[in-house]
Structure 1
Amino acid sequence: MLNCLVLDDEPHCVRLLEDYIAETPFLNLVLATTDAVEALTFLKREEVDVLFLDVNMPTLTGFQFLNVASPACHVIITTAYTQHAVESYNYDVSDYLVKPISYERFLKSVTKVLNKVAEAAQGPAEQAASDFIFVKTEHKGKFQKINLEDIRYIEGLLNYVSIYTRQSDKPVITYVGIGEMEAKLPKHLFVRVHRSYIVSISDIEAIDGNEVILKRPPRIPTGEKYKEALLKDFSSAMIVTPKKKKS
């Protein structure tokens, strides 16, 4: 859970970010204010993971606020002006959101921060992705959380993928390419077995010729390009019975 502070001199922008934070399961709002001094005081005494910060404010600009506060948290700039983008990265901000901010863009930004926090909390040898993903579904404006342990397999079709889970025979459809989806998934949990299929390693029961047998149907085809890597991944667990010599 990421603790969030919102500082913006426009009340309607504050309310929008409050709503977005409330809609996002891994975010927790600890303060939303139009008062820079209140935000500064809060930052000095409380733990904050993400600061959503406007740039053009009357008491202190966003950059003046950063100079004074030197916050030890991830900063996401929220502004109606694009011209501050270059200057903002001198402050090592995590992202730069231009108003009006859509929930899709907001979610992409905070998910990036979540991944950074998760990586920082783990040792280099055990860095891993989160145990869930958010995907934009075929229903307009809906983002769905999917636990990685619930995914059985993923089928790619043109410019979208169908994600099959243990909860339902009906897939969750999201408009991303299978290559992009593969990049989001941890390699110790999932394996690409075909140009059109990714499967959960824990669901694999057997490899039969050019097919992968899952714990329950269907069988998934393997492509020659991927089969060699698949067998290599499982080679350490294989026991090969030698052929009997003819007498």
Structure 2
Amino acid sequence: MNLNCIIIDDEPDAIDLVELLIRQSTTWTLKAKCYDALEALAFLKNNQVDFIFLDINMPKLTGMELASLLPPQTKIVFTTAYSEYAVESYAFQTIDYLLKPITLKRFLASVQKIEQYFLKPAPEHLPNDEQSQEFFFVKSGKVLRKIVLKDILYFEGEKDYVRLATGQEQLLIYRRLKDIEEQLKSPFIRVHNSYIINYEQLSKIEDNHIYIADKRIPISEKFRERFMEVIHKNKF
């Protein structure tokens, strides 16, 4: 696929590596190599590209600060040695988030992701009618309870049982979290080995944590990418 891109990074070695990977692994055109944010702003003012490789930790302006100055439709592949910016990066039109040092294997996976992004535009939202039913029954102790799906805030795995939380109550279900996950569809998503959340119920995302009601839920590295893709598709 013929795509145009630029690299923005204050480290010459990092730019050289991404340039080498591009030339070895793609048919993309590298339009420019910018060594700071101001140089990149000047180039992008008069030139159009399909997406940019953007380092986060740079002098003068950080990658995040630069991203906030670019047109909102600018597509970005962030490159950084620090994983803690992953959630924040999806406030922008982020296609991928590459952790340094970037390996050939990880870059090839990113190439597939980038090209698929431009081949098939992502849907603006995930349909909520995927849910095959609006309620289900769970056994909690000796009681069989009817639970309306939209009222569920999250499921929390605790050893041999799962805690189901709604806005009104918490129930203990003697099943594995994995078994429950297999029966759920949108808007439920796994965000941690111990948590499945209803993303329609979350109030904010901050510092790699989700806030639902008064609960602070961590986002683990294993599930972060898929979760942020879902959030990104529902972002204005």
TM-score scaled by length of structure 1: 0.46
Work out which structure has the larger RCO, using CA pairs closer than 8 Å and 6 or more positions apart in sequence: 2
Larger radius of gyration: 1
